[in-house]
Amino acid sequence: MATRVLVVDDSGFIRRRIAQILNVEPGLEVIGMASNGQEAVSKTAKLHPDVITMDVEMPVMDGITAVKEIMLRTPCPILMFSSSTKAGAKSTLDALEAGAVDFLPKELDQIDHNREKAESLLRLRVKEIGRKGGRQRAKEPVLVKNLSKPETKKSPIQSRHVSNLHPQLLVIAASTGGPVAIQKVLTELPANFPLPVLLVQHMPANFTPSFAERLDRLCNIDVKEAEEGDRLKPGVAFLAPGGKQMVLKKVGSQVSVEIRDSYESENYQPCVDTTLESVAKLLPGKVLTVVLTGMGADGREGSRQLKKDGSTIWAQDEQSCTVYGMPKAVADAGLVDNVVGLADIGKALVQLNG
């Protein structure tokens, strides 16, 4: 059965172009179009699409307001299209907070300079979002299950199990659905959180500064976009800059951040595997990695390197994921110590002893 899509944009040319790109895929069908947010709200209620693609800046009713209305009246997975400006990045993050699932740059060449690859990624993203049915929030806190024990009875991570962990670094990785999930986790950490934190979120370069600023404003810990030479500090989270790779280096006894350009072999910018493999070399057996919602398998090979020396891997559970791709990849590879509901991750991290 095809994924039914409603395309929303104030530009007739853009609406037709997106429809053409999506309708090429047998598993996708554009069932309607809307030229503003108000029309989108009305057509969503009438057509009940599986996925909506939504522009942010529109007349009559903007995309952020439309997302709020749709999520309130007839919830549906929404993929935002964003401009490359700082204001566009801020508006898109507002839309994600309002309930949108994911976003892509409105200019497809910012997804990939190869037009065919960019169009293929758009189709894949819409299909994945439609398959999941959007953000599925648990009605009550999702409990943690330990993979080494039978699943007959779920119970949260025991305080003594978490307090027995003594990592020196926390790494949080995410992709689709990640901005909201990362915000949920980080806002629960206290100002005196004992570990430095690395954040790797698949995100374009023009978005990461705004995302870091937003997190820093909302969180008790400090959050900043990582820069060359930043030294790891307890209670400070460093966000990998979009379009670059964030790795660790050691200068004397100090561990600091190195920001470099990507190699051809690195499919994501930033790439979770790249960061984790770097971390595994410098801090063997001393890392806690939490793999959150995201499409694909980025993070699996890096987690494999971490596990060789005894580091700990947690993965977000399927029920609370927007897209159960990255957590599933590490879980299926047998690399995960605990599967954790999003509602419980922050609470468990608070129990850590650095």
Q: Which of 50, 55, 94, 202 is catalytic?
A: 202
Q: Which of 298, 317, 337, 344 is catalytic?
A: 298
Find the DSSP H helices in 74-207.
86-98, 115-132, 159-163, 178-186
Contact 80, 54 (CB under 8 A): yes
**Residue 277: how many CA atoms within 13 Å on its side-chain side?**
11
Contacts of 349 (CB under 8 A, 6+ apart): 170, 185, 188, 189, 193, 290
Closest CA to 290 of 323, 337, 249: 337
Q: Which of 175, 303, 311, 320 is catalytic?
A: 175
116: its two tokens = 């065919």
The values of phi and psi at residue 150, to 5°, are -60, 150
**Catalytic status, residue 159:** no
173: its two tokens = 């990785």
First to last CA, the chain: 50
**Catalytic status, residue 298:** yes
Write the burial class of residue 38 (CB in 10 Å: 0-12 exposed, 13-18 middle, 19+ buried).
Answer: middle
Q: What is the set of active-site residues? A: 175, 202, 298
